[in-house]
Amino acid sequence: MAALWKGRRRWKTNSYFKVLARSLTGKYDYDLVVIGGGSGGLACSKEAAQLGQKVAVLDYVEPSAKGTKWGLGGTCVNVGCIPKKLMHQAALLGTAVKDAKKYGWQIPETPSHDWGTMAGAVQNYVKSLNWGHRVQLNDKKVKYLNMKGSLVDEHTVKAFTKAGKETTLTASNIVIATGGRPKCPTNVPGVEHGITSDDVFWLRNSPGKTLVVGASYVGLECAGFLTGIGLDATIMVRSVALRGFDQQMSGLVTDYMEAYGTKFAWKCVPRRIDKLPSGALQVTWTDTQTDSQHQDTYDTVLWAVGRAPETKALGLDKLGVQLNKETGKIIVGADESTSVPNIYAFGDIGEGRPELTPTAIKAGWLLARRLASQSTQLMNYDNVPTTVFTPLEYACVGLAEEEAERRYGKDGIEVYHAFYKPLEFTVAERDASQCYLKVVCESSGNQKIIGLHFTGPNAGEVTQGFALGFQCGATYSDLLNTVGIHPTCAEEMTKVHITKRSGLDATVTGC
């Protein structure tokens, strides 16, 4: 034991002198150390290495409360965008099978869905991405360390393995890109019986009858694909759905989901969860509108009540890295700098930044170029497009109508809108009453477009192209001068001419 202690003391002494030597000579182990191996961290590290920087990436996944863990790639690859979109696709295929009968396909029996087959295929694909990221880092000569990182000073990081082995890395610059993890309520007895989005994509068995608590995009997307593959899914909504998004569009999304089969418990909050001898979960909740209590049993409770930044284990307080006390996120400048020189942060962990994978990737790539003195270009966080992959997809870019009205005044904006019917819905006899688009413009001058919203099939694919117009300062006349592709849903955007102010029927009829 004494020998072990002497060895540890000698290692710590050597580590101390190593850091001291680096600070005196100005030489470091690396040009850049990135803490966090998500989409943004990987983009930053690979670009830096491409530009000749010596780079190390630290990435370690702390298992969820249920013990779920995964490989390199962060939230998007493992427990976010990728598995979500694939399971959303599984649900869309279920709807397509129903539509197929109307188109003449002879389907002899009611189709059924096997969770294990879907989950296994999705998980195997995600694992292939994990491996691919490791190969890419190796090819670009980026040092990958499956370790947790904690800051010692503006040039030094302590890294710890799962077993507790410690090493020290020094770098000219340190970048934090650790993202966030799902939150759980702190005042609900039995909260530990629930799971989060960190778990649902890695379940071996079907979640069965599921209560999703929370109506964020995560909650709606998960409940949507669960409904689509034939499961009983209920969303418990405390206040409003899709907070921060255009609320008219939110209403269309939830109306469609209710018609689609997803249940909603509006204005309700959970009070407790009890695990019954059968293994089922008995949930007690309060309807805040009537102040009445209700109970039901579920196989799974999925918490979707928000996300928290991964900052607690980084040692930021000791260095004086400034945080937003309410959100816990790191306060950053336009160049992703923190309050401490040589330490940068971007992605979901940055205060005021969109929690979106493409923005993190772009921001990380640009940061790497600036740190390598190859560019001065800053990330433009304005007019970032996004899509909610609910059963009826919703995509948008620019301002919500409410926000536009707040900024410009009611008379300062003009809203063009249309209800349309996708051609694919006609033969299938599907209800299209929630397929809708609106274009929010400045009412003065050349009517610059400041917000665009679309619900319908392939909403993300439709909106991605229009996002380019935003970057180019598109106006309403530019939109009308664009020739549509017929027959598509996207072409309706180029023909929209009815204003909300007019009160006229906005239903599209004919070509």
The CATH number for 421's domain is: 3.30.390.30
Q: Based on the domain organization, do 323 and 178 belong to the same domain?
A: yes
Residues 418, 455: Cα–Cα separation, whole Å = 11
Q: Based on the domain organization, do 269 and 219 belong to the same domain?
A: yes
- Mean pLDDT, residues 276-298 taken together: 98
- Let me know if residue 235 belongs to a domain: yes
The answer to whether 257 touches 390, Cβ cutoff 8 Å, is yes
Paired tokens of 459: 């909403």
Q: How far is CA 203 from CA 32, 75, 128, in A?
A: 37, 16, 18
Burial of 425-459, coded b for 16+ CB within 10 Å and e otherwise, reads beeeebebebbbbbbbbbbeeebebbbbbbbbbbb
pLDDT of 250 higher than 60: yes
Local confidence band at 510 (pLDDT 50, 70, 90 cut-offs):
confident
The pLDDT of residue 26: 63
Q: Based on the domain organization, do 438 and 330 belong to the same domain?
A: no
Tell me the backbone φ, ψ of residue 73, rounded to 5 degrees: 135, -15
The answer to whether 397 touches 384, Cβ cutoff 8 Å, is yes
Q: Based on the domain organization, do 211 and 299 belong to the same domain?
A: yes
Local confidence band at 511 (pLDDT 50, 70, 90 cut-offs):
low
Hunting for tokens 């709606």 — which residue is that?
Answer: 220
Q: How far is CA 284 from CA 50, 140, 194, 220, in A?
A: 55, 53, 13, 21
Residues 115, 184: Cα–Cα separation, whole Å = 25
Final residue of a domain: which of 255, 278, 305? 305
Paired tokens of 190: 């039995």
- Residue 271, classified by CB atoms within 10 Å of its CB into exposed (0-12), middle (13-18) or buried (19+), is middle
Smallest CA-to-CA distance from 361 within 378, 347, 375 is with 347
- Mean pLDDT, residues 370-376 taken together: 98
pLDDT of 3 higher than 50: no
Domain total for the chain? Answer: 3
Residues 298, 276: Cα–Cα separation, whole Å = 10
Local confidence band at 473 (pLDDT 50, 70, 90 cut-offs):
very high
Q: Based on the domain organization, do 278 and 236 belong to the same domain?
A: yes
Paired tokens of 280: 């089922």
Predicted confidence (pLDDT) per residue in 172-188, tens digit: 999 999 999 999 999 99
Q: How far is CA 84 from CA 116, 199, 242, 388, in A?
A: 16, 12, 17, 11
- Let me know if residue 106 belongs to a domain: no
Q: How far is CA 218 from CA 79, 121, 196, 264, 324, in A?
A: 11, 21, 10, 15, 24
**Distance between the two ends of the chain, CA-based, in angstroms?**
84
Residue 476's H or E segment, with its range, is: helix 476-480
Residues 7, 153: Cα–Cα separation, whole Å = 25
Helices (H), 320-388: 357-371
Strands 449-455 and 436-442: antiparallel
pLDDT of 6 higher than 50: no
List the CATH number of the domain containing 254. 3.50.50.60
- Let me know if residue 37 belongs to a domain: yes
Q: Cβ atoms within 10 A of the Cβ of 270, count?
A: 25
- Mean pLDDT, residues 24-53 taken together: 93
- Let me know if residue 143 belongs to a domain: yes
The answer to whether 496 touches 437, Cβ cutoff 8 Å, is yes
Q: Based on the domain organization, do 402 and 473 belong to the same domain?
A: yes
Mean pLDDT, the chain, integer: 94
Strands 307-309 and 180-182: antiparallel
> Active site residue: 113, 155, 193, 486, which one?
486
Burial of 38-69, coded b for 16+ CB within 10 Å and e otherwise, reads bbbbbbbbbbbbbbebbbbbbbbbeebebebe
Residues 452, 463: Cα–Cα separation, whole Å = 8
Q: Please list the residues that pair with 195 across neighbouring strands.
A: 302
Final residue of a domain: which of 305, 328, 355? 305
Paired tokens of 267: 């204005």
- Let me know if residue 110 belongs to a domain: no
- Let me know if residue 17 belongs to a domain: no
Paired tokens of 312: 């607690």
- Let me know if residue 251 belongs to a domain: yes
Residues 54, 340: Cα–Cα separation, whole Å = 22
- Let me know if residue 478 belongs to a domain: yes
Smallest CA-to-CA distance from 30 within 163, 133, 171, 159 is with 171
Q: Supply the range of the domain harboring residue 250.
A: 207-305
Strands 143-145 and 55-58: parallel
Q: Based on the domain organization, do 46 and 177 belong to the same domain?
A: yes
pLDDT of 453 higher than 80: yes
> In the annotation, is 193 catalytic?
no
- Mean pLDDT, residues 281-297 taken together: 97
Predicted confidence (pLDDT) per residue in 204-244, tens digit: 999 999 999 999 999 999 999 999 999 999 999 999 999 99
Q: Based on the domain organization, do 136 and 64 belong to the same domain?
A: yes
Local confidence band at 358 (pLDDT 50, 70, 90 cut-offs):
very high
Hunting for tokens 């899709």 — which residue is that?
Answer: 242
Q: Based on the domain organization, do 339 and 419 belong to the same domain?
A: no
Q: Based on the domain organization, do 425 and 436 belong to the same domain?
A: yes
Final residue of a domain: which of 305, 337, 354? 305
Helix (H, G, I), strand (E, B) or coil at 388: strand
The pLDDT of residue 22: 57
Please count the residues of the chain.
511
Predicted confidence (pLDDT) per residue in 392-411, tens digit: 999 999 999 999 999 999 99
Q: How far is CA 201 from CA 227, 301, 350, in A?
A: 15, 14, 26
Q: Based on the domain organization, do 173 and 235 belong to the same domain?
A: no
Paired tokens of 320: 């004086």
What does DSSP assign to residue 342? T
Please report how the helices 357-371 and 39-50 are oriented relative to each other, as an axis angle in degrees rounded to 10: 30
Q: Based on the domain organization, do 43 and 176 belong to the same domain?
A: yes
